Amino acid sequence: MNPIIFKVIHLAGALGVFTAMGAILAGATDSHRKMASMLHGISLLLLLLAGFGMLKNPPMELHYWKVKLVLWLFLGIVPVLARRKTLPTSVLLGLTLGAGIFAAYLGVMLPKW
Helix (H, G, I), strand (E, B) or coil at 94: helix
Least confident piece of the model among 59-68, 74-83, 93-102: 59-68
CB 51 within 8 A of CB 104: no
Give the pLDDT of residue 33.
84
Look at residues 3, 92, 18, 83 and name the one whose alpha carbon lies nearest to residue 50.
3
pLDDT in tens, 22-74: 888 887 777 888 898 999 999 999 999 998 888 877 666 667 778 889 999 99
Q: Average pLDDT, whole number, for the chain?
A: 87
pTM across the whole model: 0.84
